[in-house]
Amino acid sequence: MSLEKTAPDAIQEMLQPLENGQFQFACHPGVPCFTECCRDLKLLLTPYDILRLKNHLGLDARTFLDQHTNTELDVRRNLPMIYLRMQDNPRKTCPFVSASGCQVYPDRPAACRIYPVARASRMHRLHGTVQEDYFVLHEAHCRGFEESRAWSVQEWTQDQGLEQYHHFNNQWMEIITHPKLLQENGISEKQQQMFFLASYNMEKFLDFVLGGRFLDLFDLPEGMAKAVVDSDDALLELAFLWLKFSLCNEPVLKIRGR
């Protein structure tokens, strides 16, 4: 199914296929609309977005979630989704934007990095590969398209530092679009809580791994048990393995003695 059909109604008519795989765009303080796109957003945050933002701000995940996000239930999948909370002002501006630009720019969310490109990705269940389609989002206020800089999708992805974001977001997309989660009965309240813990509250998930029988029950890949203590990236990799195992019934973790 195409992004034009699955995207929110408000932006469907703004999506345009890339011509010859390229587009023309630039954003900088000299563009008249600078920061105009940083307001009144319905901005979904992925687990990797939250990891980067909370570390940039020097906050634990729970504090970041309480101060800067709203949680909404995706009724189709019965999963809690996290959205960035806009400021309570007439323009509903992003909490991290200022007149000089983004205050968390090195760790801004993937949706901000990829703009004005829109990426539709899906997992091929048979081959295990990620399939991608790209579009350009032409919002009426955006003057960046009047700039002369030309980009290919690959050039834009590299320039905006999207490779690591795609790496983690592809794994999360595989979980939240898994057929197991789309069944009529969905997942239980306890499974919802585990999904929230592993996806969004990294410190509590680490406590879950280290404080109980997790390491006794599972034979983790070599070096992973130590790595999760030292690296948030490694911890998120383990969180995704756990969700695939516990929610999707995928045999991605090995139980000791079996």
Structure token digits, residue 123: 């997992």
Is 193 contained in some domain?
yes
Shared domain for 124 and 194, answered yes or no, is no
Is 5 contained in some domain?
no
Is 3 contained in some domain?
no
Shared domain for 110 and 17, answered yes or no, is yes
Is 187 contained in some domain?
yes
Last-in-domain residue among 161, 189, 204: 161
Is there a contact between 92 and 81 (Cβ–Cβ < 8 Å)? no
Rounded CA separation 115/238 (Å):
29
Shared domain for 104 and 210, answered yes or no, is no
Q: Which amino acid is located at 6 in the chain?
A: T
The structural domain count of the chain equals 2
Shared domain for 141 and 208, answered yes or no, is no
Q: Could you report the per-residue pLDDT of 13-33, keeping only the tens digit for each?
A: 788 888 788 999 999 999 999
Last-in-domain residue among 135, 161, 187: 161
Q: Could you report the per-residue pLDDT of 207-258, keeping only the tens digit for each?
A: 999 998 999 999 998 899 999 999 999 999 999 999 999 999 999 999 987 6
Shared domain for 141 and 197, answered yes or no, is no
Rounded CA separation 253/255 (Å):
7
Shared domain for 226 and 189, answered yes or no, is yes
Shared domain for 183 and 105, answered yes or no, is no
Closest CA to 147 of 19, 34, 26: 26
Shared domain for 93 and 215, answered yes or no, is no
Looking at every residue in the chain, the average pLDDT score rounds to 90
Q: Could you report the per-residue pLDDT of 159-187, keeping only the tens digit for each?
A: 999 999 999 999 999 999 898 888 767 78
Look up the domain containing 210 and give its range: 179-249
Last-in-domain residue among 129, 161, 193: 161
Q: Could you report the per-residue pLDDT of 192-221, keeping only the tens digit for each?
A: 999 999 999 999 999 999 998 999 999 998
Is 166 contained in some domain?
no
Shared domain for 122 and 203, answered yes or no, is no
Q: Could you report the per-residue pLDDT of 58-100, keeping only the tens digit for each?
A: 999 999 999 999 999 988 888 999 999 999 999 999 999 999 9
